[in-house]
Structure 1
Amino acid sequence: MRVTSFLDKKLLGREVLMFFLIAAFVYIFPLMLADYYYIDDNWRSLAAGTAWAGQGRLFTELFYNALTFSSGAPNIFPLPLLIATFAMAHALTSLTMHYYKAPTVSCCFVLLPLWYTPFFLQNLSYQYDGPATTLSLVAVIYAITFHAKSALLQIVVPGLLIAMGVGLYQLSINVFLGLCCVELVRVVNEQASWEALRSLVKWKLAQLIVGGVIYYLAAYPLIIQERLPLLEWSVNGLIQVETNIGVLKSKIALLFQGGNFWLLWAVLLCAGAGAVRIGLNLFKRKESALKKITLSLMCLLTLPALLLLVSGAALIFRDFNEGARTLMGFSVLLVFLFYLSHLLLEAIHPRLGVLLAVPLLSMLSLSYAYGRVLNVQKEFATSALFSLEHDIASHQQLREAKRIYMSVTYSDHWLSGAAGSFELMPVLAYILNVDFFMLSENLPRVGITNVVTEKERRNATRVGYRGYPPVVDSKFYNIYLVGDYGFIVMKEPPRVR
């Protein structure tokens, strides 16, 4: 088949599914190849631990209980990720067929940013949490695409899916709300009647309420109190939200450096022109001026709503997390921009929609660059682990110490082996988010079981300041012995010149 005819071909459902299966697995391949225990994976894999219910993620716990046929979560990576990726391909197929009656390859490109999202790479870095957050996306996507003749089913089933998505990962609610915004613009563009638009809003609102009630009854009572406090509804609270937004803006800006800067402006210009086309079509509708103005305002408000939903619910919690994994709403913002850009490009020429492959290729390239950084991090962590193991095992007093306290010193300079990649792609360091030398949970892998991380008392850090002679003086750490207790004190890593 010639390339030109392939680009024009109207795809069947199974062909769309095959496209998304290939695209989805190509994206996660470098992460599977790295096979890196990312932060929480260390203690979870050692203890086969769960502890998700206390975070309001009851369905994540149930997912691993069911998949491992146990009451815990033994490490069975990459099976959960393979299952979740297959489910994601199905969900993207469902959403594509929902948006387009006869999709082409370029139509598939419009929805692919739900998966090809740079910040979601941090979610996928977790061998345990990655599959769960992926399934949360799957659940809320199906909440958008589900259709039934029964009014009861049309409300209850999406409500259950929303509750399941939030119960797998709470911030998936940002994706659901974002897709609702895109859905509104889509049906306006397709000249849906005023009554159909009102019904859409009522259905989504009812589904959201049902999902919230189900989640509240099933998972909310299990959340530990430390996870619940919100910001105060006061001037100080609003200032904190503004500060949080400023922090996120600086982090997101890291993505658009170098060649991505020009890609961003190209997509924004195309999306802006696509939005103008929707506006022109809107004012051609045979409805009253008041209804046209109302629809215009609703469509205009979708953009600030989508911008807020990049982090969304995370902004109002007192324990604000600025990590890349919280930016799940960014994927929907990209879908919205791609949707508008696709409208313009196809209006110019039916085959121009394939130009969306260029920013997608940039995101795929970032995934592989990140995979290589994970490999460097894995090599460094393994080397550090064997170094600590050797130093402890070769000193009888340290081997037999009742407990060895380890300080945790955070720095941006531990991973010097990826300095070049970090300089050219600063967003990689933000996505990686590993700025420590070693976790105490790593040491049982090499038979060292008497090391724990220092707590609030900062035992190890204080010993390091008191002038005790170190038993071990290494490039990256000192190990002290005071009585029956050892102390590992990290040094500031040398900077790369």
Structure 2
Amino acid sequence: MGRFSDFLGKELGARQVWLFFLLATLLYVVPLILADYSYIDDNWRSLSAGMAWSEQGRLFTQLFYNLLTFSGAAPNIYPLPLLIATLAMASALTRLTLHYFPQPTLACCLVPLPLWYNPFFLQNLSYQYDGPAMALSLVAVIYAITFRHPSRSRQWLVPSLLIALALGLYQISLNVFLGLCCLELLRGVNERWAWPQLRGLIGWKLAQVTVGWLMYCVSAVAFMAQDRTLLLNWSAAPLLQLQINIGRVLEKVVLLFHGGFTWVFAALLVCAIAGGVQLGLKILERRESLPNKALIGLLCLLTLPLVVLLVSGVALFFRDFNEGARTLMGFAVLLVLLFYLSHLALAQIHERLPLLLVVPLLAMLSLSFAYGRVLTVQKTFATSALMSLQYDISSHRPLREAKRIYLSVTYSDHWLLGAAGSFKQMPVLHYLLNIDFYMLAENLPKVGITNVVAEKERRNATRVGYQGYPALVERPYYRIYLLGDYGFIVMTEPAPIKALRW
């Protein structure tokens, strides 16, 4: 017991820190690897070894898969890319920990871990193709923050290149870089950096992000589809559009705070406030002029709303606003900020008290395993649906030989009844899953059915226009109609989850 107690408080070497992060990062993705579920875009990519990342401004994601598969396409090699990204993340978190704490203990290692244990990042990692690239963009951002070199030209150039690389992997990672810059300022104030040093830090970071963005524009924007670059319509109440977008993000974030999560994060917030007060007292104790103290205090205060805004960040300003959990990478930095300030407050009381930060981390790890089970249920349901459709189409010759079968586009929140209990107890799981369809047309070629297409230009004519005709096939979740050489699959939505009795 004594040795274990000593281990909790002793200084760790770089190798021990890396081993800790390797175990922690792998543990977080184990449920996703075990589920092995092809998530949304993975279906068409795995069928055709498809790319199409360059037109989304993610040229380096495309190059990553070209290099990794030794081909000009992207054959499915999951989970190898995720394992590579996880190893890279363990190294990046080690570097960040040593950057924040030159003499790290186990409690210090807990502070940057939310960059990986971000609950909303689970949706990013659900993508077997895109997830590893998104994780590598996070790695590039961390290395951009921690890079140090005596040469001024390298100190300016290398982080800029890393930022451009991160943006070329996933543009939303810019939110993480800007958020970590805010944390750098708070760290500098806590370590009593002089005002010229703090001012230099701000200048360097602004220069790095500007040059990095320009490099990215030169390398990737030329390949990007035009609709991906459209910003908000500034002639039509842009502030109202921003307000609406922020409100939609807030509605989604609130889903996380349910049950025990509410109390855990409330306690974390209280500790962070105590740490913020402690940081404010250090500003008052500085041997600076009163205007400099006021300016430093104001900058520290401004970092808090800025980090909150960066939860969705740059995504708020695009006309094609996406409120999906995968765009909330900035929430990780908000968590790291709360952890850092909480560490300051708890360490002031006792050196081992910051180990209590393991509690919210365990809550997020628990959410990861719960989400993994939901993915497994979804995989079982999707496989059953696929086999049912395959059997019905194959066993009816007119359907098998139809020129085309239209699959209606029917969205519902109630398809996955098998996970209703989990959704009720952890509402954020439904938001993370983000699957509101019964079946994707691109799934059917996996079982030899090639004449089914998703109904797009027909604007749901299948769902509303053929229900007066007798169905050739009728199942609990769908009906199949046949008119001449064309078939129509019409979905039948299940009862809402709230109507069930347990």
Alignment partner, residue 135 of structure 1: 136
Q: Does 1:491 align with 2:488?
A: no
- Is the deviation greater in 70-79 or in 484-493? 484-493
Alignment partner, residue 237 of structure 1: 238
Q: Does 1:44 align with 2:45?
A: yes
Alignment partner, residue 320 of structure 2: 319
Aligned-residue offset at 1:105:
0.7
Alignment partner, residue 144 of structure 1: 145
Alignment partner, residue 6 of structure 1: 7
Whether the 8 Å contact between 1:406 and 1:460 is mirrored in structure 2 is no
Q: Which structure 2 residues correspond to residues 214-225 of structure 1 after superposition, within 5 A?
A: 214-225=215-226
- Is the deviation greater in 454-463 or in 70-79? 454-463
Partner-residue secondary structure (3-state), 2:480: strand
Moved over 4 A (4+): 462-466
After superposition, the Cα gap between the structure-2 partners of 1:459 and 1:396, relative to the gap in structure 1 and judged at 3 Å, is farther
- Counterparts of 2:457 and 2:259, CA distance in 1: 42
Alignment partner, residue 106 of structure 1: 107
* Letter in structure 2 aligned against 1:325: R
Alignment partner, residue 80 of structure 1: 81
- Counterparts of 1:36 and 1:462, CA distance in 2: 28
Aligned-residue offset at 1:458:
2.8
- Counterparts of 1:58 and 1:272, CA distance in 2: 41
- Counterparts of 1:356 and 1:193, CA distance in 2: 30
Alignment partner, residue 33 of structure 2: 32
Alignment partner, residue 187 of structure 1: 188
Alignment partner, residue 300 of structure 2: 299
- Counterparts of 1:47 and 1:405, CA distance in 2: 21
Q: Which structure 2 residues correspond to residues 263-282 of structure 1 after superposition, within 5 A?
A: 263-282=264-283
- Counterparts of 1:160 and 1:482, CA distance in 2: 58
Aligned-residue offset at 1:43:
0.1
- Counterparts of 1:268 and 1:380, CA distance in 2: 39
Partner-residue secondary structure (3-state), 2:183: helix
- Counterparts of 2:236 and 2:273, CA distance in 1: 34
Identity of aligned residues (%): 66
Whether the 8 Å contact between 1:460 and 1:488 is mirrored in structure 2 is no
Aligned-residue offset at 1:192:
0.6
Give unpaired runs (5+ residues) of structure 2: none
Give the structure-1-normalised TM-score: 0.99
- Is the deviation greater in 456-465 or in 215-224? 456-465
- Counterparts of 1:189 and 1:456, CA distance in 2: 58
Alignment partner, residue 338 of structure 1: 339
- Counterparts of 2:438 and 2:159, CA distance in 1: 44
Whether the 8 Å contact between 1:405 and 1:460 is mirrored in structure 2 is no
Whether the 8 Å contact between 2:179 and 2:310 is mirrored in structure 1 is yes
- Counterparts of 1:12 and 1:397, CA distance in 2: 69
Q: Does 1:386 align with 2:387?
A: yes
Whether the 8 Å contact between 2:408 and 2:463 is mirrored in structure 1 is no
* Letter in structure 2 aligned against 1:65: N
Task: Map Cα deviations across residues 359-396 of structure 1 (whole Å, 9 max, x no partner).
Answer: 00000000000000000000000000000000000000
Whether the 8 Å contact between 2:325 and 2:431 is mirrored in structure 1 is yes
Task: Map Cα deviations across residues 100-154 of structure 1 (whole Å, 9 max, x no partner).
Answer: 0100111110000000010000000000000000000000000000011111110
After superposition, the Cα gap between the structure-2 partners of 1:299 and 1:369, relative to the gap in structure 1 and judged at 3 Å, is same
- Counterparts of 2:194 and 2:242, CA distance in 1: 38
Aligned-residue offset at 1:238:
1.0
Whether the 8 Å contact between 1:171 and 1:313 is mirrored in structure 2 is yes
Alignment partner, residue 249 of structure 1: 250
Task: Map Cα deviations across residues 260-297 of structure 1 (whole Å, 9 max, x no partner).
Answer: 11111101110001000000011111110000000000
- Counterparts of 1:450 and 1:142, CA distance in 2: 48
- Counterparts of 2:461 and 2:86, CA distance in 1: 43
- Counterparts of 2:314 and 2:412, CA distance in 1: 29
Alignment partner, residue 437 of structure 2: 436
Alignment partner, residue 285 of structure 2: 284
* Letter in structure 2 aligned against 1:407: S
* Letter in structure 1 aligned against 2:247: G
Aligned-residue offset at 1:228:
1.4
Query: Cα RMSD between the aligned structures?
Result: 1.0
* Letter in structure 2 aligned against 1:174: N
- Counterparts of 2:11 and 2:233, CA distance in 1: 52
Aligned-residue offset at 1:404:
0.7
Partner-residue secondary structure (3-state), 2:487: strand
* Letter in structure 2 aligned against 1:123: N
Partner-residue secondary structure (3-state), 2:285: coil
- Counterparts of 1:416 and 1:461, CA distance in 2: 25
Task: Map Cα deviations across residues 243-264 of structure 1 (whole Å, 9 max, x no partner).
Answer: 1111111111110110011111
Whether the 8 Å contact between 2:463 and 2:491 is mirrored in structure 1 is no
* Letter in structure 1 aligned against 2:273: G
Alignment partner, residue 364 of structure 2: 363
Alignment partner, residue 161 of structure 2: 160
Partner-residue secondary structure (3-state), 2:490: strand
After superposition, the Cα gap between the structure-2 partners of 1:145 and 1:354, relative to the gap in structure 1 and judged at 3 Å, is same
Aligned-residue offset at 1:240:
1.2
Alignment partner, residue 201 of structure 1: 202
After superposition, the Cα gap between the structure-2 partners of 1:466 and 1:22, relative to the gap in structure 1 and judged at 3 Å, is closer
Give unpaired runs (5+ residues) of structure 1: none
- Counterparts of 1:238 and 1:386, CA distance in 2: 49
Whether the 8 Å contact between 1:84 and 1:135 is mirrored in structure 2 is yes
Give the structure-2-normalised TM-score: 0.98
Whether the 8 Å contact between 2:138 and 2:166 is mirrored in structure 1 is yes
Alignment partner, residue 403 of structure 1: 404
Alignment partner, residue 446 of structure 1: 447
Partner-residue secondary structure (3-state), 1:2: helix
- Counterparts of 1:212 and 1:495, CA distance in 2: 46
Whether the 8 Å contact between 1:401 and 1:486 is mirrored in structure 2 is yes
* Letter in structure 2 aligned against 1:58: L
Whether the 8 Å contact between 1:376 and 1:418 is mirrored in structure 2 is yes
Whether the 8 Å contact between 1:460 and 1:489 is mirrored in structure 2 is no
- Counterparts of 1:495 and 1:195, CA distance in 2: 60
Alignment partner, residue 425 of structure 1: 426
- Counterparts of 1:406 and 1:445, CA distance in 2: 16
- Is the deviation greater in 22-31 or in 464-473? 464-473
Aligned-residue offset at 1:462:
5.1
